[in-house]
Chain A
Amino acid sequence: MSDFEPDILTFCCNWCSYAGADLAGVSRLQYPTNSRVIRVMCSSRVEPIHILEALKEGTDGILVTGCHIGDCHYIEGNIHTDERMKEIVDALEHLGLKDRLHLEWVSAAEGKKFQETITDFVEKIRALGPNPLKKNKKEE
């Protein structure tokens, strides 16, 4: 398992966490290459089906990131995100996949936190091992 490199999908909201990821980049904060960002306008746009499909494909871990509570560009979108993620985690528990989803608030000023969040999550998933549903990858 030592050469296992997890595939991580990170959902970022346009206003806070995407800008936080940008700041990490501008600050040249280095972190593992495992994560790929999908930008949505608000973290509350992330649907259960996005997460379930990703897991079904074989993605090893999914991070959902958004503005801190109180800072949501859409007032209370992230409150819905918080509620929905709890429900999805409950559902994933039955599938034995709950540790593969993580929610984190990252502000536009928290480049460092973005770096740490990705680094920690990659390590966590690395320790957890590959997604049991993982399919083979197409040849590039």
Chain B
Amino acid sequence: MTQQESTTNEEAEELRIGAFICECGVNIAGAVDCNAVADYISTLPNVTTAVVNKYTCSDAGQDEIKKAIKELDLNRVLVASCTPKTHEPIFRACVEEAGLNPYLFEFVNIREHCSWIHMWEKEDATRKAKELVRMGVARAALLEPLQSSEVPVTNKALVIGAGVTGMQAAMDIGDMGFQVYLVEAGPSIGGKMAQLDKTFPTNDCSICILGPKMVEVNRNPNIEIMSYSEVEEVDGYVGNFDVKVKHKARYVDIDLCTGCNSCVEKCPVEVPYWEFNEGIGTRKAVYVPFPQAVPLRALIDKSICIDCGACSKACERGAINMDQEDTFSDLEVGVIVVCVGYDVYDPEPNHDFGFGLYDNVITTMEFERLINASGPTMGKVVRPSDVVQPKRIGFVQCVGSRDVNSNIYCSSFCCMASLKNAQLIKEKYPDSEVYIMYMDMRTPFRMYEEFYNRARDMDIHFIRGRPAEVTENEDQNIIARIEDTLTNKIENLELDMMVLSVGAVSPESTEKIRQILKVSRAADGFMMEAHPKLKPVDTTLDGIFIGGMTQGPKDIPYSISQGSACAARATRFLAQGKALTEGITIAVDEDICVRCEVCVPMCPFQALKMDDDGKLEIITALCKGCGTCAVACPTGALQQSHYKNNQILAQVKEVFAYEEV
């Protein structure tokens, strides 16, 4: 339909607009006189009815809309209530049920954008609400019916990140019968959980419960693990994502390697093992990530390899391939689940509590590796300065959390982690003195408070306070000057080793994938969910989900639950085999188009091209409806549906309703 035709149609049709003003209990009615708004709106041209509802989104409210559409023959519906970000789909579906095209619905936000931000200015807020609704009425009059198109969904999923959350998501999607690509940046799946010693609140050995799960993921016929790989590009939309994955060169043929370690034994280059052991202990230039790694395959760190050839000679199967290059895969998937995890807070730059200045101040993650039976010390807890077992150990809570100088949020797992580690020390070395220095102990959820009580019964000392000053004496013992704020006693606590209970931060390395996918970033740096309560694993992007620490700090049970939640949310699309795409796209009026091609390079999605006859062709499936090309068009031939110039200009002119001159 050309513009002219549509204008003619509009003229032919008598406009009958129904306006529904929501009180939202007192959320809106507390600051806006909704009856006054309705009274005013009912005087505007084309408005057939304007009514006030207690809750327009309730069953009763929606029934009233449907009834009015039928009885009053409404051909436009306007709801003035909350935000379209949560409620537009609900009302579009409601009017559609009553036979109206969903795009003939107009939403006006008088809650987030009015009553909640002008809580004590009833008069001004009411006037503003009237103007906002008037603007909506002007726009509603010009709305045109649109069709959203149904697109087929590729019945495969991509899970990015193979920590415990991503593994769970991949397993659940795989078990529901859909193929999953599980892409992991590191050389093995397992994530941070593989580094931990025990896990609260039951003190299970972490790798003993994770290891079998890793094997299960590997055995699942529907899961293809792509380790040491990164997502480079993502194109497309829900149901039809095109993904480019880079497989980083391992310089080891993983089909030939058996993970036997004979190459590792011969390699002469040894460096601190940062990636897995936090720099405690060493690894070779060629190494197998850890004994339970999946895939259990070696890789070569080319940045330190001296090319001596010892590994090649040692490998009976000829798996070493120093000429290997990065390779790429192009995947087609219908949905994407992002579980890229976290980093522990780094206290080094600010030397929090002497970290980086004194050898015997370490982080929780370093402690996990120290006390881990398969760690670099075989589980013997020793302090870094002299490799002697420390007798007096103190834990400092909230390092990099709940602190205006670093992160204001609570990382939630660190209290329990320190309680666990304190218990482990007391079990292993009963004559140790263990201190926990805290602001508040936070132990919600099942069995957690009991776990805290258990620690108290084990003669672990709790000091409510944070060290004000940390120094080191001639024995390299740590002196923490601390006030116990429960007793108002200040003391210089002498410790052989101090452990900083570091919180979680969003890794800088995940910023790239966030930007590729266009997932929003929350103020704390983690990725942002679509709704903090109702859609905790959805994003605002259809078909893209986030789980686990990607969305903020959480413990293992919570992360696993989110992995399963992501799988359930994502699989809805795969099971239905189809998805609806937004009806808002671009259209060209060929009578006005002068074929100047200015618009073509404007489109970031290559949805515009000149066809063989030199005419502008729009590939609707690629158009995402941003409207940037419409602005570039010098003749106005390109129009973005639902955001046409006349529709926006009607809002511009009606909002403050100045007199015609």
Contact = CB atoms under 8 A, between A and B. Distances in A.
Given A45-B640, A57-B656, A137-B659, A70 B515 contact: yes
A108 interface: yes
A40 B584 CA distance: 11
A110 interface: yes
Interface in A35-58: 36-42, 44-47, 49-50, 53-54, 57-58
A40 B652 contact: no
B626 A44 contact: yes
B658 A58 contact: yes
B643 A9 contact: no
B518 A44 contact: no
B84 to A, nearest CB: 7
A36 B117 contact: no
Contact of A71 (B127, B518, B651): B518
B357 interface: no
B655 A15 contact: no
Contacts of A37: 109, 113
Nearest to A115: B117
Contacts of B515: 70-71
A137 B656 contact: yes
B6 to A, nearest CB: 19
A22 B83 contact: yes
Interface string B96-127: 00000000000001011100111111001101
B99 to A, nearest CB: 26
Given A28-B116, A41-B626, A41-B643, A50 B658 contact: no
Given A73-B518, A108-B520, A137-B658, A45 B627 contact: yes
Interface in B572-598: 584
Interface stretch (B63-71, B130-138, B210-218, B475-483): B130-138
- Dominant SS among interface residues on chain A: loop
Contacts of A41: 584, 625-627, 640, 643
A38 B643 CA distance: 11
B273 to A, nearest CB: 34
A36 B132 contact: yes
B40 interface: yes
A94 interface: no
B522 interface: yes
Contacts of B632: 80
Interface string B516-550: 00101111000010000000000011000000000
A21 interface: yes
Interface in A52-104: 53-54, 57-59, 70-77, 80, 84
A45 B625 CA distance: 10
A16 interface: yes
Contact of A57 (B127, B630, B653): B653
Contact of A45 (B541, B630, B657, B661): B630
A114 B99 CA distance: 38
Interface string B605-641: 1000000000000000000111110111000000010
A110 B130 CA distance: 27
Interface in B344-390: none
B131 A36 contact: yes
29 contacts: A22-B109, A22-B113, A26-B112, A28-B116, A31-B117, A33-B124, A33-B128, A38-B651, A38-B655, A41-B626, A42-B626, A45-B631, A45-B640, A45-B643, A47-B631, A49-B645, A53-B652, A74-B626, A75-B605, A77-B626, A80-B631, A80-B632, A84-B631, A108-B520, A108-B540, A109-B521, A135-B658, A140-B130, A140-B657
Given A15-B540, A45-B643, A50-B649, 4 more contacts: A22-B109, A33-B121, A36-B132, A74-B628
Interface of B: 40, 83-85, 109, 111-113, 116-121, 124-125, 127-128, 130-132, 135, 515, 518, 520-523, 528, 540-541, 584, 602, 604-605, 624-628, 630-632, 640, 643, 645, 648-649, 651-653, 655-659, 661
3 nearest CB pairs, A to B: A25-B112, A45-B627, A44-B628
